[in-house]
Amino acid sequence: MLAFQYIDDDASLTELVSKYRQSPLLILDTEFVRTRTYYARLGLIQAYDGQTLALIDPISVGNLSEFWSLLSEPEITTVLHSCSEDLEVFARNGKCQPFRLFDSQIAASLCGFGHGLGYAKLVEQTLNITLDKGESRTDWMKRPLSDAQLNYAANDVYYLYELYPQLIQKLEDRNRLDWVFEEGERMTQGRLTPPDPEQAYLKVKNAFQLSSRQLAYLKVLAKWRLNKALKRDLAVGFVVKDHALIGLAKKQPKSLSELNKMIELTDQEKRVHGKDLLALLGSADLDNPPKPIDVLALKNGYKSSFKAIKNCLTALSEQHDIAIELLGSKRYIHEYLQWLWDGKRGELPLLLSGWRAEILASPLAELNIS
C-alpha cells in the first residue's frame, strides 16, 4: 500500500499547493466518469512530485483554483500519460492547460517502446512491475472510495515518477526530448476554445452526403442539438442521434404526421422533440446555405497521391524508428494533401512543421504531387 495524503478540504489543498510550487516536476492523473454526459465528471486528481503523493477529492474541496494555477507555472513540468482526456478535464474544470507538458505515452513511442502503449505496459517494460488493474471500472463519483481504489489511483502517478528518468535519458540519447515538449504544446492548443454551434453540422456523421440545401437544414438542427447538450451536460447522441439529423435534413417533414412516420427517429425523440424539430426545419436559411462538404477522398488523383505519401512516410518511419501513427497518420496526410490542393495557402500542415519538417520536408517535396 502506497503512502499518500487524501486532500478533502481547502486548507489541506493550500498547504499541498505550496509544497508543489517548489518542485520542478509534477506527475498528474485524473479519474473521471463519462457515460451520458457531454463533459467528463471529475472524480479524483492524483498528484506526485517525488516527495508528496496526494489524492485530491474535487467533490469535497470547495475551490481548486490554487491547484489549477500550478499548471500555468513555466518552471514546472507537468507529466501525464496519454493525456488527451485529462486535458479536456483541465480545460473544463480549471480553465487551464499545462504550460510545459510531457506526455509519457508520446515519449515512449519516440523511445521505441511502441505506439499507443498503455500505462501498465510501460511500467512493466521499464520497471518490470505488474500493476493490478482490477479497479479500472470504478465509479469515481461514489464515496467513500475503498483502500483498493485509492491505492490503484496512487499507482498511476507513483510509478510514472519512477520511470520518468528512464524516458528522459532515452530521449536525450536520441536528441528527441524537445520533440516531446513540442508535441505537448501542440496538444494543448485550442483546448480552451468552446465548441462552436455554428460549425456543429460538420461533425455530424455522413454530413458530406448532403446537398447544400440539405446542409442548411442540418446546420440549424445540429446547432440546436449542441446547445441543448451543453445546457443539459448531455452527450449529443442522447439528445438526438446523428442518423436522425441526417434523415430530417433529407426528408424535411412539414407536419407531426410526416415526422412520426420517419424510421430514423425513436419514439422518444418524436415525443420529446417533435415540435421543436419541425420549427427548426422551418427556420433554416435556405437563401444562404453552407457550401457542400468537400470530401478529399473523392477527388481525382486522391488514391495515387495518398499511396505515394504513405509509402514515403512508411519508409521514413522505419529509417528513423518512429511509429508511422505518430510521424504521419491518415489525418496528417489528409491535412497535407488539402494544403497542397488549396494552392499551399494557409497554415503549414503538421507534416511540414516542427520536428516532422526536419524529417519529411525534403522527401515530400521530391514526390512532386500537385
For residue 234, the 8-state DSSP code is -
| Cβ-based neighbours of 51, under 8 Å, separated by 6 or more | 19, 23
List the catalytic residue out of 20, 119, 152, 201.
Answer: 152
Residue with the three cell numbers 526536419: 358
Alpha-carbon distance of 21 to 32, in angstroms, equals: 25
- Is 66 one of the annotated active-site residues of the chain? no
Nearest to 154 by CA among 254, 48, 256: 48
Nearest to 159 by CA among 119, 107, 215: 119
- Is 152 one of the annotated active-site residues of the chain? yes
Nearest to 352 by CA among 309, 314, 321: 309
List the catalytic residue out of 31, 57, 183, 269.
Answer: 31
Would residue 106 be called left, alpha or beta, if left means φ above 0 and alpha means ψ between -120 and 50 degrees? alpha
List the catalytic residue out of 156, 183, 269, 335.
Answer: 156
Alpha-carbon distance of 173 to 177, in angstroms, equals: 9
List the catalytic residue out of 49, 57, 86, 183.
Answer: 86
For residue 254, the 8-state DSSP code is -
Provide the strand spans (E) within the chain. 5-7, 25-33, 41-48, 53-56, 77-80, 101-103
List the catalytic residue out of 20, 29, 48, 159.
Answer: 29
- Is 88 one of the annotated active-site residues of the chain? no
Cell numbers found for residue 341: 490542393
Alpha-carbon distance of 343 to 313, in angstroms, equals: 22
- Is 332 one of the annotated active-site residues of the chain? no
- Is 29 one of the annotated active-site residues of the chain? yes
Alpha-carbon distance of 149 to 140, in angstroms, equals: 9
Catalytic site positions: 29, 31, 86, 152, 156
